[in-house]
Amino acid sequence: MSELKSQDAIESDNILQVRNLAVEFHTETGRTKALQGVSFDVPRGQVTAIIGESGSGKSVTASAIMRLIQPPGRVTAGSIDFAPSGSEPYDVLALVDKDSRLEQLRGDHISMVFQEPMTALAPVYTVGNQVAEAILCHREVSKKVAWDEAANMLQRVGIDDLQRRMQQYPFEFSGGMRQRVVIAMALVCQPDLLICDEPTTALDVTIQAEILTLIRQLKGELNNSVLFITHDIGVVAQLADHVVVMQGGRVLEAGTVRQVLKQPMHPYSKGLMAAIPGLAPKGQRLATVASVVGATDITTAYPLTRLADGRQISLSPSQLKAFGHE
């Protein structure tokens, strides 16, 4: 049993190690702490899901990993150690703006699929142009080669009639098709880590299933690591190997899917599981997180503690004792 410290060296089976990450937003009404002491691991070659309510800090975490936090937001503490395949591990947050590794990090080593496919593509450039651009940013190849590679990737995400489709503009694509384009754009440089920030939230249910299948299938083919942000626990059960539960800008519990979904230990995680509609007994009022947890239990922050089974949890010493942990 140990506390997670930012001095921890990155473990060889982790591609990403976030330690004590803190992000603040300075607004006219004062500082808002968006993230506080966020620590978790992303194991190499596996799918890690971050779950939590709106405003729990999931997306801010993803932005911080890509160094996409813009003023008035600011990273105030912590480290994000990243170990791309074939190069030395480094702390993402320590990179200066001009470091070539930062350029490589964005799009080449780590890439991102965004929540809103309707606005994630620029309206005035063709789909082919935008996908090929991702290659041209990172590889010394001709436009022709980039275009061919883009066509190849677009075909893999299930877009047909490429001759015509690549010359079309995003507004000529449906929402599901656009999300396929965004996924192709993210995967075309074969990144080590793919971050999906609620990639299915803006899509209707049948398309959601298609996109999830696609992400899983491509992960199998490209063997990359995935950080999947969602508030849909059903999706987590289908897709993820590991789960990080966030609330109020903190990590409350992290572990394997089996540990967190089957035997949640933190009261908040228990509340979340009890509030899944499909699992609740029929004919009864559905539980809310607050009704299970009670507001007081989750307002106090405790440092994350790693248990003997690898699970990380934020509980008071007395609560831990109750579970039989010293």
- Residue ranges binding another protein (CB under 8 A): 66, 68, 70, 103-108, 111-112, 114, 116, 119-125, 133-134, 137-138, 169, 171-172, 182, 185
218 in helix, strand or coil?
helix
- Rounded to the nearest whole angstrom, what is the least distance from the CB of residue 173 to another protein in the complex? 13
- Rounded to the nearest whole angstrom, what is the least distance from the CB of residue 188 to another protein in the complex? 9
The torsion of the CA quartet 185, 190, 191, 196, rounded to 10 degrees, works out to 50
- Rounded to the nearest whole angstrom, what is the least distance from the CB of residue 39 to another protein in the complex? 23
Distance in angstroms (rounded) separating the CA atoms of residues 34 and 248: 8
**Of 33, 26, 97, the residue nearest 60 (C-alpha):** 33
Which one, 8 or 103, has the nearer CB to another protein?
103
Distance in angstroms (rounded) separating the CA atoms of residues 199 and 212: 9
- Integer CA distances (angstroms), 289 to 93, 181, 249, 269, 286, in order: 34, 36, 17, 9, 10
Angle at 18 between CA 24 and CA 6, to 5 degrees: 90
Distance in angstroms (rounded) separating the CA atoms of residues 244 and 54: 15
The DSSP output letter for 279 is G
Which one, 171 or 323, has the nearer CB to another protein?
171
Which one, 138 or 250, has the nearer CB to another protein?
138
Under 8 Å between Cβ of 171 and 130: no
Residue 74 token pair: 């600011």
Distance in angstroms (rounded) separating the CA atoms of residues 305 and 252: 10
- Rounded to the nearest whole angstrom, what is the least distance from the CB of residue 239 to another protein in the complex? 21
Which one, 187 or 298, has the nearer CB to another protein?
187
- Integer CA distances (angstroms), 30 to 35, 71, 203, 295, in order: 15, 14, 35, 24
Which one, 185 or 298, has the nearer CB to another protein?
185
Which one, 58 or 138, has the nearer CB to another protein?
138
Angle at 234 between CA 261 and CA 222, to 5 degrees: 95
- Rounded to the nearest whole angstrom, what is the least distance from the CB of residue 97 to another protein in the complex? 8
- Rounded to the nearest whole angstrom, what is the least distance from the CB of residue 40 to another protein in the complex? 20
- Rounded to the nearest whole angstrom, what is the least distance from the CB of residue 34 to another protein in the complex? 16
- Rounded to the nearest whole angstrom, what is the least distance from the CB of residue 285 to another protein in the complex? 38
